[in-house]
Structure 1
Amino acid sequence: MSGLELLTIIIGLTVLGFLLKSIYSLSQRSRRIQAKIASLEDENARLWTTQSELSSEAKCLQDTVDNLTAENRSLRQRNAIIQSFESLSIEQLSAIENNLDLVINRDKLTQAITEAGSQKTNLEIEINQLKQIVDLWQEEYRRIEAQHEEIIDYDQRLKAYPGLLQQQEGLIHRIDEIEQEKASLTEQLWQAQAQIERDLQGLHRIKIVSACRQHSTSDRELFHATIDMNFGRVREALDFAETMFDDVLDVWDSARVSADASNFIRPDDAYRALQSLAWFGQHYFEQDGDIGDNLYGFLRENYNLECTPESKTVENDKKLRDERCFWNGSQRKEMFKHVKLGGGTGMNKILRIYFNINRESQRIEIGHCGKHLSN
């Protein structure tokens, strides 16, 4: 290392030491300044505190002065009053005393009036409460009285209850009877309307050609007439036959149902067969059934009706017998006598009319007018 470099290092160290010393000195001075600032701040705070205390003391002193001034003023007023009283005469003092008594009495009277008003209000409240209690008791009395009357009425109704039950049962029974009568009358009305419609339809088929001379043995006028035999269905032929011969033909409900279901192609033949049965019935009942032993031969020879009884096989077979058990309302009856119409193959070419001769009612009962039944 050369001397110049060493000198440079020494100078640098010297400068560095000087700088460090200066920095330390500045740091010490800064601490002293901060301490002094803190001391000044504390002194300032103490001075503010002292100032506040002095202000409070000054305010207290001012309040004391004000109080003393007020007391002095009051003393002066009292002194003036005393001096004024000292200058008053005995009469004036008596008048003042009387006025004071009046004021006191007036205050007492006002207080008494106030108390009386309060008592009046309380009494009115009590009176209203008593009125409410009276109203409640009256309402309770009316309720008890009504309940008593209700109990009496209930007792009377309880005694009358068995009789009312009997009356009710009687009325219910009567209502049932009336309902049954109504249903029966409705059914009769419906049947009558249906019969009237059938009669009207039948009358449209009858055309009077000319009148005949009255028969010597009859009290009825006789007419020549033509009948429209152009029936569209078996049911029309059956209804017309019933209209024409209702005095001897008794058409059953089962016959109407079977006629409705029939598609027999010659319904005019069905009418002719029913007409022949009606004529046969008139003759049969006029003769009281005395037509001989061969019913089927009599029908064939006199009325051109192909009529046969059922075979023993049918009569002995329950299923086949049930098929020939016809109905009219609630009435049921087996019928085996029947008229045969048509022939060949096909259900629309065959018709069967099952009937029964009822000697008691003097009528021919038609139970079936439709398809061929099983055999």
Structure 2
Amino acid sequence: MNRRFGPTAREPATPLWWGGIGLRVLTLAFALGAILVYRDDYQRPRLAWIVFGGMVVWTALTGLVYSREALRWRWRWFVVVDLLVSCGLMLTSPWILSHAQLSGVDPLITTVWVAGVPIAAGTRFGGSGGVVAGALVGVATAFARQQFTLDVARDSVLLVATGLLIGLSATTARASAALLAQALRAEAATAERERLARSIHDSVLQVLARVRRRGAELGGEAAELATLAGEQEIALRALVSTEPAQTTDGESDLRAALQLLSSSKVQIAAPADEVRLPAHVTAELLAVAGEALSNVDKHAGEQAKAWVLLEDLGTEVVMTVRDDGPGIDEGRLAEAEAQGRLGVSRSMRGRVDELGGTISLTTGPGQGTEWEVRVPKR
């Protein structure tokens, strides 16, 4: 799958990949210089050139793979193979260097060329991957030296630190690109919503407003049409003025979703800020509110009004749906469930129970009906 980090599929950590490629080329040139300087002291100079040839081929191959723009071409398994191949080439040092060279300060056959591995692992896997790769290269260095010295420990620390820093940089770059992409999409959606709102205001809303006023003046059946036109006008205004509820990180804004339930008979009271919840939680709570408002339409009478109150308490959200209808008689809900009408028991209580929340009812003859739903945010 082509993962999109921003407006394009370009990997945000691409500069780090190219930096790693450049480092390998530079360190390859350094390794060539080291071989030219120390070749006369090697036990097997011919093997040294063979290993260097392998380094040249592997540098070219890793450059081709890591230079691809899309992250999907920078395979995870290839980075692991890169670690194994680089360490394997370095472990040929005991067969190439003399005992005096291994015991002294002369560089191993790969020199600092292996530093490209923690960079690649950190860029691909993040900070933890870079640390693991750096530590493994450090262990391989100790085996190649056949001893653990202060110089080996110092090199290992530098390799681990390099992998950690590069990994953190790559992770930060990807997170920043994702946030930027989300902000750009939100800005584009807002601009398009404002454009549609202006267009609708200049046409549809004005027509609905005129129908509402004229129908109210004429009375009779026209008054009923005026009421319907007024409801649609309110719903349309809520639609074009409410920000999109769905986000790209698996969460959505319950406040924005509830605003779409507003009508001439339903008023919504919600916090000024977003109330972000997992998208499926928002969908379930919206369905609960919709079922409660549907019961108001069916049972509370044509003149009944309803109010939806949303509160964000930090650890939980509280949604209250209240109406000024005649209320529910005692035993009515049990009777409805026995008759197979499961709107309350299944649609409302069942949804809230699955979310790990609670739902309570306050009602009585002539007192209206109030549902209070409490659901934990996490």
TM-score clears 0.5:
no
TM-score (norm 2): 0.27
TM-score (norm 1): 0.28
Q: Return the index of the structure with the highest Cα Rg.
A: 1
Name the one with the larger helix percent.
Answer: 1
